[in-house]
Amino acid sequence: MTTGLSVQDGGILYGILSDLGGDIVLKIDRNGFIEHASSGLYEAGIDLSEMLIAPHLADLTDERHADLVRDYCIAALQSDFATQALEIPLFSQSEEPRWFALTVRPLPEKAGAATLRNGAICVLRCIEQKRELEHRLFKSAMTDPLTGVANRQAFLSSIRQSMTLGGSGAIALFEIDRFRAIGLRFGQQASDSVVQAFAGFLNNMRDEDHILARLEHNRFAVMLPATDHREAIDFASETISTFAQISRDAELEEMRLTASASVSQLLECLDDALVRGEVALTMARSAGGFRVECGDAIRQSWRSSKSA
């Protein structure tokens, strides 16, 4: 019984993997000339069948990067260690150049002959696709999946960065009154629809420089940069009043909604501002809802009790 793959078997395997993953897989000889290419190279606009002489790997890029590719191949073929990927533009006759990350892994000619190579397997991975994927993953990690606005992690990160740069302002928290009753009466799907609609409403109410996020369930936060206490209260009051008016105009008696809000100045500590805001929001809802409570008043109360 034998183990391992022959060069031919390896070429077939890498061809399958490249077709599945969208990468371009090449096999080069010990001098760097291309012996085999997966279908991805043809799809990138380069047809080896039209070339009378097998091209060198460096012939796939421009003159500025050709020498880099040659040196990279030599170093990879002479090394037993993995070399870092080299970013190069790939040129074709019909398309604008696209950037790829080139990785070369040498194939030993025979066991124990580390300096004799039978060529190498090369992988060209499109950087544009990689960066697009990274962007999608980052956006997914920082976005609330139900509403499409920023999530708690993104919100806290943005504010901390702003505070590091000397930013100030206020944080307004919003929550739909008696939200749990909506779920109990109409079901989870209706609850989700209300949350989505509320997020869209808050997004329309905010200014361009405001940061909107869903913190949890039906609780949302809006960061109001460079906004004083009075302006923040006015914004929160106008927001919940407009929301109640829209609900009344909808003429859906069973789904008539209101919201409560709290406002806290962003001072030296973000966590302190959020705690004060959440306590004030709880007080607003406990008092019947459809009102704005000030978290800064709670801060003064805490200071008074400590000094006493």
Q: What is the DSSP string of 12-75?
A: HHHHHHHHHHT-EEEEE-TTSBEEEE-HHHHHTT--GGG-SSPPBGGGGS-HHHHHHHHHHHHH
Residue 234 C-alpha from the chain's centroid: 33
Residue 86, pLDDT score:
92
Looking at the DSSP bridge assignments, the partners of residue 34 are 28
Residue 49, pLDDT score:
81
pTM reported for the whole predicted model: 0.60
**Dihedral (CA of 303, 287, 174, 249) sign:** negative
Residues whose CB falls within 8 Å of the CB of residue 297, separated by 6 or more in sequence, listed in order: 280
- What Cα–Cα distance (Å) separates residue 86 from each residue in 66, 92, 99, 228? 12, 19, 10, 51
Beta carbons of 270 and 159 less than 8 angstroms apart: yes
Residue 88 C-alpha from the chain's centroid: 25
Residues whose CB falls within 8 Å of the CB of residue 159, separated by 6 or more in sequence, listed in order: 167, 171, 211, 223, 266, 270
Per-residue pLDDT of the chain (308 residues; tens, 9 = 90+): 344 445 555 555 555 555 555 688 899 998 999 998 888 888 878 888 888 888 999 999 998 999 999 999 988 888 766 678 899 998 876 667 888 999 998 887 665 555 556 788 899 988 877 777 667 777 778 999 999 999 999 999 999 988 888 888 999 999 999 998 888 888 889 899 999 999 999 999 999 999 999 999 999 999 999 999 999 999 999 999 999 999 888 765 567 899 999 999 998 789 999 999 999 999 999 999 999 999 877 665 555 544 44
Residue 14, pLDDT score:
54
Beta carbons of 209 and 225 less than 8 angstroms apart: yes
Q: Show the beta-strand stretches assigned E in 79-132.
A: 86-90, 98-108, 117-126
Q: State how far the Cα of 48 lies from the Cα of 42, in Å rounded to an integer.
A: 8
- What Cα–Cα distance (Å) separates residue 182 from each residue in 159, 174, 185, 189? 32, 17, 5, 10
Map out the domains of the chain with their CATH numbers. Answer: 7-133 (3.30.450.20), 143-307 (3.30.70.270)
- What Cα–Cα distance (Å) separates residue 266 from each residue in 7, 83, 230? 64, 49, 14
CB burial readout 233-257, b (16+ within 10 A) else e: bebbeebbeebbeebeeeeeeeeeb
Phi, psi (rounded to 5 degrees) for 31: -100, 0
